[in-house]
Each structure stands twice: as structure tokens, then as C-alpha cells.
Structure 1
Amino acid sequence: MGSHKAAPDQRPFVITRAGWAGIQKHALVWTGDNSSTWQHFEDSLQTLLNLGLSGVPFCGCDAGGFLDNCTPELFIRWMQCAAFTPFFRAHTNTGTIDHEPWSFGPAAEAIVRHYIGLRYQLLPYLKALFVEATHSGTPIMRPLFWHYPDDPVAAQIADQFLLGRDLLVAPIVRQGAVARSVHLPDGDWFSYWTGEKIAGGQQVVAHAPIEFMPLFVRAGALIPFREIQQFTGERPLKEVTLHLWPGGMSSLRWSEEDGVTNRHADGDRTERELIHSSGAKGGRLVIGRAVGSRKSSVRYWRILLRGTTTRVRATVNGRRVDVHHDPGSGIAVWKFANRSGEVVIEWEQLNRRSRHPVRTGRPGP
């Protein structure tokens, strides 16, 4: 390829709208020139899910549509959804109105900015999903039946999807809608926005005023976050916040490399396995020993435990750590310095009558 000849030590970034078996080795695929209509928005979900199932995990569409003029409502709803797709961009044709976050007024800009910021925070999670796709071909954006093959309702759902195993995205694809029916597969789920725990295996009505898109997290999830950036690479990754939802098990492969060159193929990277299991009374997270020649940029791991009903006591490799607990949000937070060896984090929810001292206060974002 010409890009390899021009910059042999750099990873190429190629976008295509067409290809054949094996195209995923050379380019990401976007869905071509779509229109600014609700129908094309809804159709894009099925197109992207089918691309993932066809072995093309890195895919996306022109959020807001390329042809015609988008409306503020459609732009907001499309951008909310597209923030959770592997390839995320807004685009538009010559001769149409601008499709920028600030093109539809301050209210639309604020909503879209929030979802773009959430996308930046989720980049470590997306990175882990890309690593998984590289090793196994697993789609990043997955139909519900990928993880719930015995659920007959999941097999028929075309307007919801899973980002990885743990995030269930239910976009608003109808003009004027401020609520929608959402199918939650078996197991417990949490509303990302409110923290409410909801039993799965049922249809629920999710309220969705214009500023909210229904978003749910699987019980037992482990999702790494970072701080908001204005562009990728603005700041090195020094602190990672691991969001943990109780009630199950999860794992991911953590990987760090320079993100630009091909040196990772020669061992210039660091990897470690993260394994989480938890229940109503407590849990355990193991951060495996770092493997690879590259030194991690991460200085601190920050644990943000969701769904707590009482105060929490935590240890890191057997040593007690200070826990900040906010009873109003049900969130407990603690942090510790990174190290290359194995790290075992354990916690328990204390009996309400326990006299063990635990710091309380509102955790940071």
C-alpha cells in the first residue's frame, strides 16, 4: 500500500465504503452517502451490526446524514447514538447546512458536547474492545443475540445494540419520541443515568427527554474511563477510573502502546488482564501482572463502585485504603498507585451498625 511506502513505521488510517472479505485488515468501513432522515438513521444500526457480524468491526456512518439538511432533533438523537459506534463522525454534503455540534443552537450544542465528552471518557473501554476484535474478530458493536442466543426476543431486536458485552444502547429513532420500549435480556441491569437496578428478561419503558438516550449497564460490568480530552493524545493517560457494577463477573485485556507506530508488533507494549467478580455483599478485582517491555503511563487506578447500599471497606493487596462513600448516589470511590506486579482489590459492604471508620463525601466525576 502507498501509505506503508510513504511512512513505513506509521500505522495507516484508511476509510473505505466498499471492499471484500479481508477488507478489515486494511481499512475501516463507513456506510457511504446517507440522507438526513429518521429512516436512514434507523437503517444505519442494522447496517453496522451486519458489518460487525461480517468480520468488519471498525465501522460507522455519517452521523446526521450526508445528503439533505438535518434538523436539530435528528442531529441530537443521531449523535447520541453514534457516540457509541466504533467509528464516530458527523459529515455533510456541499450545498447543505453545516452539521457541526454548534450548528443547531446552544441547547443542541450542550447536549451533543456531553455525549462527545462521554465518548472520550470511554476510549479505554473502546480500546479494549478493539484489542479483543483484533485477537478474535469479535464485533465491537454487537446485536443482542451475540451474548443472548437463547433469547427469542433478542434475535428480533434491530434498534438496540451492545457496545462490548456490558453497555446496552437503546437509541431514540422516532421523531418526537420522549420514551421507548427497551428489551433487557436475562440478568440484572443498571440505568447508567440514575443507577437504578432493573431485573432483566423483560421489556421496560425508558424515559428519554431530548437530553437523554436510554443507556444500561450489565450487572457485573467492568468499564474503564479516563478524563475528558479535547482531542485524542491531548494528555497522557495517567489515571484510569474503573467503574464497577456489582452482581456478576467480567474481564478485559488492558493494553498500552504508542498508538502511532508499528512497534507494538515487536513487543513495545504492555498488557495485563483485569478480572472482576462481585455480589451484593462485596467483590474482588484482580489486575494481573504487566507483561511487555513498555512502561505503563498509568500512575493511579481509581475504583468507582456503583450500586452500594451501605458503607464500603476496601483493601489493596491486603492493606486497607480510604474509601469515600456517597450514600445519595450509592457510589464508593478509592484509588491507589499503579504497579507492575499483580494487584488484588477486595471490598465488602459493611453492616449498617459497623463501627469501622469509612470516610464519607461526594466522589468526583
Structure 2
Amino acid sequence: MTTVYTVDSIPGDGIGREVVPAAIRCIDEVARIEGFEVTWRERDWGSDRYLADGAMMPADGIDQLADGDGIFLGAVGQPGIPDHVTLWGLLIPIRRSFMQYVNLRPVRLLPGVEARVSGAEKLDAVVVRENVEGEYSEIGGRAYDGRPEGMAIQQSVFTHAGVSRVAEFAADLAVRRSGRLISATKSNGILHAMPFWDEVVEETVSRSGTVELESVLIDALAARVVLRPDSIDVIVASNLFGDILSDLLAAVAGSIGVAPSANLNPPREHPSMFEPVHGSAPDIAGKGIANPVGQMWAGALMLEHLGEEQAAKRLVIAFEAALADGIRTADLAGTASTLDFTEAVIERLRSAAR
């Protein structure tokens, strides 16, 4: 009996509408080869819906997604709408409603991609970012808007449960890789939250017994990512620090356009969501030149999460082969269009399956 997965597709805004269909074509092809199916439920949620109806998604949007096997997101954001409106109207509610508390962001130098800094040739790292609390908190407010006394208060939230579960996930990952784990901190300047983070991470990781934990101040770690990228393996970081570090690592590895992201609910009590790290890129939207690798790689992470590991490997091998053969989009100093690259990946999937 053929296994059928139900996945909600949310292309969203800008280049999301171009790279999501491209990645779906490749996923459908590898599913055909491996003998399973994906039923796609496309959601036209995003900024256009906000402009028409005043909301990025329907009031019952979370309920509509709840019975799916995964969520495949493109990009969120459009000029003219504040970013906090678009993100807090779609992306962040999904992450929090489904307790996707791990944001997994692998990064490595892909074949055929030129390293931006020395040492990036050996870069193969994973950022494990805490995804539902930390600095991205809803607690706070504003007062005296429009007056000289105007003020804003933003509270960070670090719970023992939140820090320990993401540290445990990162430690388990480190055990399967090099055994080395870096914890991003700023405990010399952030008086309460970061020493607490350090204590809980150390307590949690110590239970693994085999992981070598290194706690590094975020400013020094940012410099190390650029100066010694090959010294990085697994990083565990708070919501804000993980967000910044993963983008920096992606740039070091050649382009933010190739970086994937998995928003995971590790207990699998709710669907997980998969997306590229890049944004909606309104400056190139509609030109047909967006790089679909980040979306394809996110699709491979989704297939792996669904248990289709061989399909995930096939997809990664195919887009890596296309890159190695010199087929690259403009952000990687190439001339291929989104369609050109997609066709090249599908051709390699079919050739490898013959």
C-alpha cells in the first residue's frame, strides 16, 4: 500500500511563490521514484490576504494545519507592511501553537559554490536554535507613543524546560556528529537570563556524559564563525543569537539563498514546518531568478523528518550535482533561472533512478 503524506504548502510572499513550486516539483519526482505520494494542500496565506482581509491567515488557520504531516513554507514579508505584522501574523503563531521549539539550521559549503572566507571549504555545521521563547517574547509594551517620554519594554523569557529541551536535542545531535557542542552566550553582559542559560545548558549536557561543551560569548563566536568556520560543528543558541548566527554562517558558506530551516516539534505531537532561511526578496520577486536550493534543502529535511531518508538523500545529491556541474543562479555568480535549476535537478533525479 502506497504511503501518502499530507503537507500544507504556504508559498507566502515574494520569491516564496517561485521557489515553493520549484521544490514541490522535485519532491513529487523523488516521491514517484521512491514509491510514496505527497498530497499538497496549498494555502494562499500571506501579505496579499492581509491587504484584502486584514489577517495573514484565517482565524482557524492553526486548526486547518493541525491534522497534516508537515508544513512547507516559502517566505513572509512584503514592502508596505511592517515585518512584525507579517511575521507575528503567520510564521511565529505556527511555531508556537505547534510547539516547534527546535529550529534546526544545517549549513555547509555546497559543491560548486565559492567559499566567501578562508576555512569555509571545510564548513559543515548545524545551529540548534531555541524557537519559541527567549528574546522573541510577546511580553512587554509601549507607553507615551509620540511623546518625548515614549518608551518600549520587551521582556525576554527563559524557562528551565525551554532551555533544557533544546540543549538536550543539541547534545543528542552532537553525540551523532563530532561530540563537540558550542553554547552561544552573553553572560558577561546580560545579567540574569544568560547565566541562567549557561547553568541549564551545562546541567543538561553533562547528563550525556560524552559531549564536550564549550560556552562562547556571542561576539567572540560571531568573529570565530568568520575567522575559523571549520572549527564549528554544533551550536546551541537562544532564539535571537541562533537567528543571527545561522544567517552569518549561511553567508560564509556562499549565500543565504541555499540555507534551509526545520521548525521541529521533536515529540511529534504536532506537525513540523520546513522553510528556507531567506526572506521574500522583493527586489528580485517575479524575475524568475530566485535560488530554489534553500527551499529544496528544506524539502529534504522534511522528507527525512517524515522517515523518507532515501528520498531526502536523493534530493540533496541531485541539487548538489547540479551545482557541481556549474548550474547556478545569480546569487551564486551564475546565470541559471529558477526554472533552469529546477529542470536540472529533476533531470539528475531521473538519471540516477534509471
Q: TM-score, normalised by structure 2?
A: 0.28
More helix by share: 2
Bigger RCO of structures 1 and 2 (CA < 8 A, at least 6 apart): 2
| Higher fraction of strand | 1
Which one has a bigger Cα radius of gyration?
1
